[in-house]
Structure 1
């Protein structure tokens, strides 16, 4: 077990901002720091995004705008001015933070969109429908929206479940991460395997009666899977700055560290893990410090844990 610190807010200080609306405390759902400026974007359950300045010790609200009519599950910076937000309304929107205008509307999911990542001109989303969509903003819009240039349907649905009913056994794609322009990683809420997709292959040619085959898989040790009473899955994953180490937060309350230099991880492999926190929700997210030395995770016991 790795060393960790357990943190909990016991009082509200000047660096804490609580949002109330009609005596109801708004719930923050996602957070993304600007890559080049002292600015933090936070999304809320009412579909709003707020921008806070982190330059001083006291948080300062810079701007607020409405992005969606429902909860925003994930956000990502596309550029200095553009922010991407996914929602329960089955769409993803790219906004200009300077003007508050909608720049692009991304369609292609049939259920809520739970995760997003970007690389160069490509934006990738993962949904509760177990579909991964890849968009290219250089392509022209159709009927006022961008549509996927490639899709991976049934990305985390087993063949057995597909035979029964894919609709009843949807496995939400909880996180997507680019390693490079060709390799995309994904994880899901009820799949103990992290999957690597080769984007040079056109998965869209497959229909929904076939399970797409990933390039590689990284599996949770079988003994760890047996220790929980439900299907093992992942709530989140993050790569280090070199894109060669991947940390994945599993529903068995362990964060696994995968070395992406390895060809594959089988269910019998021994994998370094971090324990101490509790994962009782798929809203438990993780973050890495810029120097890759500290790993932060939320926890269902209302603490935050920092692993070294």
Structure 2
């Protein structure tokens, strides 16, 4: 789905054993992330055209456009228990919060809260790189956002090495200085330079966070205590891009990850030192992965 402009939906009809495809042109640039609206057949897309769009899947109709970023949007997420509110993270370095119930402005819904420069390396380096244009974007990009609950948003960036937890009861829009998150998980790896994160996955209890880092390690954090040190690390796969995703099984016992080495990996989360199950068959980087929510024996990758 990444780096394509079209959306393709595949549905399997059990009674007729047929595949049904829906496909439409969603954006004028690459689609970088997707999020399904809970309990409704609506899909949110994030694109390199600097917009997020909500779609009616049955009709392929555009329902809402969310506009305000100045660079490509790399991640989208709905708030838990309230699909009217969503968050986006962009290559422009900002996190934006949106409410689809707000009035339109110039044909699109504007953001109601903006966390500016959420993962900039430092203010001093920022001033120097402001003259670099697109080079600055790549240094401050917000690569992933996910809601822990209705008030807390977790985010990660491309190079600063931090995972941050934001309290959304605070209005960040008018803050001119570097915004302060409620909690921070600093980079825990052994590399001399900090690395970014391609995916943040929470368990069903919203208590354990699996953070897939571009140093080929998945760091596991306790997001009840917010202890800055990971409770464990998971190794075995390769992650050299920001497209590698992870997924937990419905019972929270197994973690599935894509990999840059053309394979997918499955670990038992309480025995991560054991060798993972390796899924072969691809001839390119394995990016998006998912467990079937109704059948533990089926995964997609």
Q: In the superposition, relative to structure 1, how do residues 300 and 155 fare at CA in structure 2: closer, same or farther (>3 Å)? A: same
Cα distance, 1:169 vs. partner? Answer: 3.0
1:225 lines up with 2:191 in the alignment = yes
The higher-RCO structure (CA 8 Å, 6+ apart) is 1
1:160 lines up with 2:119 in the alignment = no
CA distance in 1: counterparts of 2:169 and 2:95, whole angstroms = 15
Query: Which of the residues 271, 277, 294 maps onto 2:237?
Result: 277
What is the TM-score of this pair, normalised by structure 1?
0.79
Q: In the superposition, relative to structure 1, how do residues 233 and 75 fare at CA in structure 2: closer, same or farther (>3 Å)? A: same
CA distance in 2: counterparts of 1:270 and 1:114, whole angstroms = 25
| 2:45 aligned residue | 85
RMSD: 1.8
1:184 lines up with 2:153 in the alignment = yes
Unmatched 5+ stretches in structure 1: 1-27, 30-44
1:214 lines up with 2:181 in the alignment = yes
1:140 lines up with 2:82 in the alignment = no
Unmatched 5+ stretches in structure 2: 269-301
Residue by residue, what CA displacement relative to the aligned partner does 1:7-49 show, whole Å, maximum 9, x if unpaired?
Answer: xxxxxxxxxxxxxxxxxxxxx32xxxxxxxxxxxxxxx33111
SS in structure 2 of the partner of residue 161 of structure 1: helix
- On the 8 A contact 2:116/2:179 being kept in 1, the answer is yes
Runs of 4+ displaced beyond 6 Å: none
CA distance in 2: counterparts of 1:127 and 1:58, whole angstroms = 40
| 1:195 aligned residue | 164
Q: In the superposition, relative to structure 1, how do residues 297 and 59 fare at CA in structure 2: closer, same or farther (>3 Å)? A: farther
Query: Which of the residues 117, 123, 129 maps onto 2:92?
Result: 129
Residue by residue, what CA displacement relative to the aligned partner does 1:181-213 show, whole Å, maximum 9, x if unpaired?
Answer: 111000011121100111111110113xx2111
Cα distance, 1:54 vs. partner? Answer: 4.0
What is the TM-score of this pair, normalised by structure 2?
0.81
- On the 8 A contact 2:220/2:230 being kept in 1, the answer is no
1:247 lines up with 2:210 in the alignment = yes
